[in-house]
Amino acid sequence: MIERRDVGATDVLIDIAYAGICHSDIDHVRATRGKSIYPMVPGHEIAGVVAAVGSKVERFSVGDRVGVGNLVDSCRECKPCVSGQEQYCASRVLTYNQLGRDGRITQGGYSEKIVVDERFVIRIPDAIPLANAAPLFCAGITLYSPLRHWGAAPGKRVAIIGLGGLGHLGVQISKAMGAHTTVLELDETKRADAVRLGAENFLVTRDVAALADLASSFDLIISTVPANIDLDAYLSLLDIGGTFVNLSIPQKPLSMSAAVLLANRRSLSGTLSGGLPETQEMIDFCAENGIGAEVEIITAEQIDDAFDRLTAGDVRYRFVIDAKSIAQDRR
């Protein structure tokens, strides 16, 4: 049994309703990144209801619908923290699998309850069901942040590589921001879903040579796929001043031709999720625009199978654990 953190003066105790399964959960559980600390409780896409608050909590009350993403602490004093970009704090503390500032290993959302400082808790609008809200705290903000930063808006041409757990939210958000949105996928199987979610265009890219017809077609390309792709081929799709944003960590280092970057004054960039103010902004935006994750709700005993299915790409589009089943599974 892992000891639960006590509720401090600025803490919020959350009864977890649902916890989304992120691909990074698999990486940590199966130690594919070599940084796993056991025993481990994964999960950083958390939605639930406030069960108790500390004596100095000001923003939340018992019964509030709330969520937690992949951060539960930071130094709170550095430039990123002061500017609301806690994800770039050198001392940020992840929701699980990390030594916290209190000297204890953080444990995440595959649980019945979690205790988090109120600064790192986000209010969930009533318009979004908790199950559909949970994945927004990682997958949602990870797409919202670059779309907002690089100016997805009317007149902008956005391409999203991969219609998966991240990509299916990116399409919805990009469309709601007013951008002309294209999905780039390896085959036709997700065309109908892409169009239903708001994509104006869907292109099969398995034949890289076919991409030549799309030269200089986009202002922003966001890659959600963890595989190593032909970066030169995709960079060539950017118009003058366009940006390619990488969100994943492929097995091999990124490689490209400098000449492709020089042409059209292209940029290659990356980004981490989002800070707390932007995460609240994101979920309010999603509520206003009817955006939520499309989920398959599972029980605790199905987690291993879900890991295997997610690894194989067999989910549309996010597994979410019903936290009630965790208590039942322990009996």
Q: Which domains does the chain have, with CATH numbers?
A: 11-137+294-330 (3.90.180.10), 139-270 (3.40.50.720)
CA distances to 161, 177, 187, 188 from 282, in Å: 21, 11, 30, 30
Examine the pLDDT at 2 and tell me if it is beyond 70: no
**Per-chain mean pLDDT for the chain:** 94
Interior angle at CA 302, CA 301 and CA 304, nearest 5: 100
pLDDT at 6 over 90: no
163: left (phi over 0), alpha (psi -120 to 50) or beta: beta
Greater confidence (239 vs 230) lies with: 239
Average pLDDT over every residue of 162-188: 96
114-153 pLDDT, tens digit per residue, is 999 999 999 999 999 999 999 999 999 999 999 999 999 9
pTM of the complete model beyond 0.75:
yes
pLDDT at 307 over 70: yes
Residue 164 scores a pLDDT above 90: yes
* Per-residue confidence (pLDDT) for residue 227, from 0 to 100: 74
Q: Which of 57-61, 201-205, 213-217 has the highest mean pLDDT?
A: 57-61
Tell whether the model's pLDDT for residue 274 goes beyond 70.
Answer: yes
The rounded distance, in Å, linking the Cα atoms of 108 and 102 is 16
| pLDDT at residue 331, rounded to an integer | 55
